[in-house]
A and B are shown apart, each in its own frame.
Chain A
Amino acid sequence: MIQSFTRIPVMGTLRLLALAAIVTLAMPFAAARAASPAEDFVQNNVQKGLVILNDGGSKEQKREEFRNFLLKLTDLKRIADYTLGPVRNSTSPADLAAFEEAFREYAFAVYESEFTKYSGQTLKVTGSIERKAGDYLVSTVLVDPNKPNDRDPIRVDFRILGTPGHFTVADIIVLGLDLAITEQDDFSSFLAQNNNSVKALIAELKQRAANVRAGGDLSGK
């Protein structure tokens, strides 16, 4: 435990990897650099997320707006299916649908639990790569308003799938840590410890999401 975290970059950067999504999806961009449709998509939609976070509406209103924003921006079904790993192939359609629903609620809970941690950071698009048709990696760096001259900003990469007009965010990579891979490793191990019971994982995710809605934290305890 000790040594494992000696290698985590020392900046409080990750918070929780999954929670980094709120810090990334909800950032304004420091510079209007939009050299490709995928970069343009990331820039424009992150700006929309910022507007929601800065909106003076009630907590419930903000929650609902951000929820709709995430549903439109991200392909949560695709991400959910990926995180199940090989177990997905042996999962019944009913259980798969229930898992996708539980994953969606869990994802919303993750973001909502981090709402208050947004503190004015901005993102700057630094470039993008088209891996193959319809598969892009858009690179950005996180700019902290308290460190305007930071020469070693945190790198955040967005995996964008689709075609112009139909793009979705499929994954986020913070400092080389891949959200989808981490979630899949986390869930796969949980499943292995629980006889590959997708129902047990669904119950776990529901409990955690309910705990956040009740004002608790993500631990579900």
Chain B
Amino acid sequence: MRGIASLFVMCAGLLLAGCATDPTGANDPYENTNRAVFDFNQKVDKYALEPTARAYVAVVPDPARQGIHNFLLNLDLPVTFANDLLQGEMDRAGDTLGRFTVNSTLGIGGLLDPASDFGIPYHKEDFGQTLGTWGVGEGPYIVLPFLGPDPPRDATGQVVDIFLDPTTYIPIREHFWWSAGRKSLAIIDVRSRNLDTVENIERGSVDYYASVRSLYRQLRNNEIRNGRPDVKNLPDL
């Protein structure tokens, strides 16, 4: 379901990208629409997501939340592993495989994180990042209802990641609810761990939309560089 929706958006985005112009240089040719969707998402966050995240923090004990967080990260590792390989990052692929093996077994299905204690670092990869390492540009900035920033490269990556995820092929009858539940829990998990961060970014921005756009792009580029500083392209101060 999500895959079909993402595929549609991706195709629409790629088609629109071909005819879009951007006089501001921000590569945001649909800014007016994006801002309207952004405002809608803000309301969704204010009235649904943030209260849910705060209730989650209030009701679920910290060790349980940490276990859920570990479990969700562990579930993502096969996709990370596939993208490590696609990027030719064999050392990182080894780390990912090691983490998944250790945490899925000694870590009781991923609820615990003994791999970190063994010195196997966590990292995340997705096919959007893989496309980035292959030199594919982000495309025009697009904000989707409920999903937030999702430019064509990253939307494409999300669709491909569905097919790279082994859980997609597990023949369970309630597959849709499993996927929806996993995604919902992941969103609540991340939101609950960033309550202060989000509030502070909003409070400290003169144009919150623009700040989020800037941060989103910088974060994605940083992920594509695997955290290495972009020494050649620092601002011309």
Q: Are B227 and A155 in contact (CB under 8 A)?
A: yes
Q: Which stretch of B77-85, B173-181, B196-204 is in the interface?
A: B196-204
Task: Please name the residue on chain B nearest to A175 by beta carbon.
Answer: B222
Give Cα A155 to B210, complex, Å: 24
Q: Are A187 and B212 in contact (CB under 8 A)?
A: no
Task: Please name the residue on chain B nearest to A208 by beta carbon.
Answer: B206
Determine the interface band of chain A, counting residues with CB < 8 A from chain B: 35 or more
A188 to chain B: which residues have CB within 8 Å? 26, 210
Task: Please name the residue on chain B nearest to A193 by beta carbon.
Answer: B207
Contact bitstring A118-146, B, C-beta under 8 A = 1, else 0: 00000000000101000001010000000
A104: Cβ under 8 A from any B Cβ: no
Give Cα A82 to B234, complex, Å: 12
Task: Please name the residue on chain A nearest to B198 by beta carbon.
Answer: A5
- In the assembled complex, the CB of B97 is this many whole angstroms from the nearest CB of chain A, namely 18
Q: Are A171 and B234 in contact (CB under 8 A)?
A: yes
B122: Cβ under 8 A from any A Cβ: yes
Q: Which stretch of B86-94, B101-109, B185-193 is in the interface?
A: B185-193
A4 to chain B: which residues have CB within 8 Å? 148-149, 212, 215-216
Q: Which stretch of A12-20, A32-40, A57-65, A92-100 is in the interface?
A: A12-20
Q: Are A178 and B207 in contact (CB under 8 A)?
A: no
Q: A10-B190, A171-B235, A188-B210 are in contact. Are A176 and B227 (CB under 8 A)?
A: yes
B146: Cβ under 8 A from any A Cβ: yes
Q: Are B206 and A7 in contact (CB under 8 A)?
A: no
B212 to chain A: which residues have CB within 8 Å? 1, 4
A14 to chain B: which residues have CB within 8 Å? 197, 200-201
Supplied contacts A2-B187, A15-B200, A181-B214, 10 more A-B pairs, CB within 8 Å: A1-B148, A3-B144, A3-B148, A8-B197, A131-B231, A137-B229, A176-B225, A177-B219, A190-B207, A219-B202
Interface residues of B (CB under 8 A from A): 24, 26, 38, 41-42, 44-45, 49, 69, 116, 119, 121-122, 144, 146-150, 186-187, 190-191, 193-194, 196-198, 200-207, 209-216, 218-223, 225, 227, 229-231, 234-237
